[in-house]
Each structure stands twice: as structure tokens, then as C-alpha cells.
Amino acid sequence: MKGFQQTLQNKIAIKGQALHSGKIVAVELIPQPVDTGIQFCRVDLPDRPVLSATPKNVIDTTRNIALGTDQWRINTIEHLMAALHGLRVDNLLVAVEGPEIPLGDGSAHFFVQKILETGLLEQEKPRKVRKITEPVWVADGNDPRSYLIALPGDQLRLSYCFTSDHKVTGNQFAQYLITPESFLKNLAPARTIAFWRELEALRQQGLALGGNMEIAVVVGEEGYLNQLRFEDEIVRHKVLDLLGDLYLLGPLAGEIIGVRSGHKLDLELALKLEDQLE
């Protein structure tokens, strides 16, 4: 699983609509030297501030993962982070002209396509894969049915249980051993979920202002309102989000099991794991 560190062959320029603000934003993915890790930069600000993608630099987990400080932020990094994790991109600077990452098609596929078109560059140092050495777990104090467990393992395997009393979605379960091949085939194209009844409420909060009916699995009262890419696309996207959030820790080996969890618990688990990973 280790192999050598990787970055991109060349710089990539990406433009697209942001999910929550609805604005068109530009991003550059810039290759970096070994041991840099993943970094984000706000190039539209005077001092061009840079932050590493680590758990301690996350400032918001409300329906996304946002990096930043009390003065600036970059929202919705999770799908790009999932693409970098799944393709094993170790060193990269993400230069953003604004406070949010482009939405693309609502999955990681948008970023994966751009990265694979450019190609990956193998670097001269081995990857640093951190191993989970003992059980670690977090739970939602307001919902005892919602929790995340991390167990020791030699590779990265993610399991997720999506539960819902909605008659359209029902309960869904998925488990994947994470390799570039399984990621590309099973997870990268899976889009985020949107309940039609919630969309207007989100927009009144200033969220979900961008996009269209094709950038999410839209769930109506009597059925799905658009074409699914997978029968269990919802739970696959939950695994995708978890994969992206875990990359705040860098390359990881272990067994992760999530039940009804989301970005908030993902971050809590990452913060607890950070102290005990080898």
C-alpha cells in the first residue's frame, strides 16, 4: 500500500460554480515537493494565506468541511480531498480565488477527470502511511445511533451504514477496501444527497445556492427526481465524504466503521486519531 509519494505532472486550472454561494470560482492545483502534504491558499487575499489540510485547521463542519481562520476560509473541500485520497496524491497546493471550491458534478469525478488528464508524478520518497494501533471511537451526544469507530488494520477499509425512515431511500450499507481502482469504479462518481423538501430551507440559510438537478441525488416524497448513477449512490457518497475527511490525517491504514455519521463526527474522530497514529 505504501509506494512512493505522488504529486501532479503539471499545474491544473479549474473553474466552476460553488455549491453554497452559487458563485463561479477558480482553483489551481499546483504540484509540490515531497513531504509538503496538501495545502490550501486564498490567492485572492492580499497576503495569500496558506493552511495545511489538517484536523486542527478545520473551522466548520456544517454540511461541508471548511478550512480557515477567524479572518478567512475555504469551504467544501471534501470532494477534492476524496479525489486526492483515492488517487494517492500526497503533495499539492490548492490555490483558490474565493471562499469555496467548485462543485463540479456533485461528486469527486469532476476532480478525478482533471487529475488523470494531467497525470500523476511519482516522487523520490516513500509514502508515510499512518496506522491505527488501537480502537478509537466517537459518538453524537444528541443521537446515540450515530457514531464512528476506528480499528487497527493493514489497509484502509471504510464501512458505512446509512439509515433513514424515508420510504424512498430506506437503509443502505456499503463497505470498500480503498485502492485507486476501487475508488474510481465505486466511489468517485457518487453524488451528494438532497431531499427536495429541505432545499428551500437550505437556500434561506444561504446554502445550496449553486448547482442544478444533476449535481445531487434528489429525493422526492414518492421517488428519486433524477437518474441514479448507482442503486445505492447515497451510501457510496457517504463513504466518499468520509474518505475525503479522513485525508486531513494524510495516508491512513485501518478499519473505519460509520453509522449515521457526518462531517462533524469525521472531524472529531480525526482529532482523536491524530494523537495516537503511528
Backbone angles phi, psi at 218, to 5 degrees: -95, 120
- Rounded to the nearest 10 degrees, the angle between the axes of helix 233-246 and helix 78-87 is 80
DSSP secondary structure letters along 76-110? --HHHHHHHHHHT---EEEEESSSB-B-TTSSSHH
Name residue 94's beta-bridge partners.
29, 40
Lookup: cell for 180: 485507486
47-55 contacts, C-beta under 8 A, 24 or more apart? 50/93, 53/77, 53/81, 53/247, 53/248, 54/248, 54/249, 54/274, 55/248, 55/249, 55/267, 55/270, 55/271, 55/274
Which residues are CB-contacts of 113 (< 8 A; sequence separation ≥ 6)? none
CA distances from 133 to 108, 110, 151, 258 (A): 29, 34, 7, 18
- Give how far Cα 161 sits from Cα of 123, 236, 240, Å: 37, 10, 13
Question: How far, in Å, CA of 92 to CA of 83, rounded?
Answer: 12
Catalytic residue annotation: 263
The strand pair at 73-74 and 4-8 is best described as unpaired
